[in-house]
Amino acid sequence: MKNMPEISIIVPVYNAEDYLVRCLDSIKKQNFTEWECILVNDGSTDNSVELCNRYADEDSRFKVINKNNGGVSSARNVGLDVAVGTWIAFVDSDDFVDPDYLTIPESLRNCDIVQKSYTILKKSEQTEIPLPLHDGCVLKDRDSLCRFFLNKRNNALWDKIFKRTLVGDCRFDTSISIGEDFMFQTVLMQRVNLYGFSEVGKYMYVIRDGSAMTQVEGSITNKLCVIEENIYHIDGIIRNKDFIYLHDGLIYGTYVTFLLKNRRILTDSQHVLLANRVKALRFCCLKFLAFGRRRKLIFLILKYYIENLLAFMFGRKGY
């Protein structure tokens, strides 16, 4: 009987022929060899599916699943449904990985998530991003996990390897087009017991002009729309009162702060959302938010109240 792979790598593929060979070659050259790579062809119209089939023909560890185009979240969900590894890794088809990326140090094998360092590649620029905590560090309690996720996390999936038992029945919300990685991880953080960090093997993240994230990053208006949607998603994802510090820290430390900074260009619905969230703020629930971020939030709220008070006194429209 053939041994089951230890790591399942899920690669959503959509019209990626210009980058796919580099990506799949980097997976094929991994020093850790007990893996399967699930290539989910999401309705590509270029030569991506031919390339996927070629790798599957040459190496049985590559498996190809073809589906109608439904977006990256639906493709990842298909991959999760068939993955059999003890661990799950996500690699984007335009990125690539170091030969030791799939190597998990023995000291971290009991962890639910192992986070790696990564390099950002943009045109001719290269930026090394170190681990947010030291190599070999393991977070073991809810308070330290909450502090980390609020203040030092990144929202990406691709620099982390997840225990499949942690993921369980959790799937990506296909209604979310931007921020689906973050929402998925927010669900998982409520299940994590051990979270480790390893410098063994880097992920190489490639920023391309015209990508969905590039378009969002370039537009404040788009960012505000995403934030408005994500606030309601967080409300739905974090319902357990045991995680109230995580819920409020995310809502106020990230989203409300951004709304306050850009309050002069908010839509009517965003103004209402901001007013309601400011009114409902409980400072006691921000105790895990870094001091500097709490200070900035308080300053912006005071400024918000003063400007609205002055507007009321002088008969002008407030913010």
Whether 75 and 189 map to the same domain: the answer is yes
**pLDDT tens-place string over residues 81-127:** 999 999 999 999 999 999 999 999 999 999 999 999 999 999 878 99
CA 263-266-271 angle, 5° bins: 80
Closest CA to 40 of 73, 78, 89: 78
The last residue of a domain, from among 159, 189, 210: 210
Instruction: Mark whether 182 and 267 lie in a shared domain.
Output: no
Tell which wins on pLDDT, 32 or 216.
32
Name the more confident of 311 and 41: 41
Residue 310 pLDDT grade (very low, low, confident, very high; cuts 50, 70, 90): confident
User: Quick check: is 269 in a domain?
Assistant: yes
Query: How would you class 288 by CB atoms within 10 Å of its CB: exposed for 0-12, middle for 13-18, buried for 19 or more?
Result: buried
| β-strand pairing of 62-67 with 125-129 | unpaired
CATH number at residue 83: 3.90.550.10
58-69 tens-digit pLDDT: 999 999 999 999
Residue 99: give the domain boundaries: 7-210
Alpha carbon separation from 111 to 89, 117, 118, 279 (Å, rounded):
14, 17, 19, 39
Do 202 and 267 reside in the same domain of the chain? no
Q: What is the domain count for the chain?
A: 2
pLDDT at 217 over 60: no
Same domain as 110, residue 43: yes
Q: Which of the four pLDDT bands, split at 50, 70 and 90, describes residue 1?
A: very low
pLDDT tens, residue by residue, 197-209: 999 999 999 997 6
Residue with tokens 């409980």: 282
In a domain, 318, yes or no: no
Domain boundary among 210, 236, 261: 210
* Residue 151 lies inside a defined structural domain of this protein: yes
Residue 1 lies in a domain: no
* 186 plus 225 within the same structural domain: no
Q: What is the pLDDT of residues 240-258, one digit of tens each?
A: 999 999 999 999 999 999 9
Same domain (yes/no): 196, 223: no
Distance CA(295)–CA(96), nearest Å, equals 39
Confidence of residue 218 (pLDDT cuts 50, 70, 90): low
Is residue 118 domain-shared with residue 62, that is, in the same domain?
Answer: yes
Are 200 and 228 members of one domain?
Answer: no
d(CA 180, CA 226): 11
Return the pLDDT at 91: 98
Could you tell me if 84 and 198 lie in one domain? Answer: yes
Residues 122 and 261 in one domain: no
For residues 139 and 49, membership in a common domain is answered with yes
Band of residue 178 on the pLDDT scale cut at 50, 70, 90: confident
Count of beta carbons in the 10 Å neighbourhood of residue 266: 18
Last residue of a domain, one of 210, 233, 251: 210
The per-residue pLDDT for range 281-308, each reduced to its tens digit, is 999 999 999 999 999 999 999 999 999 8
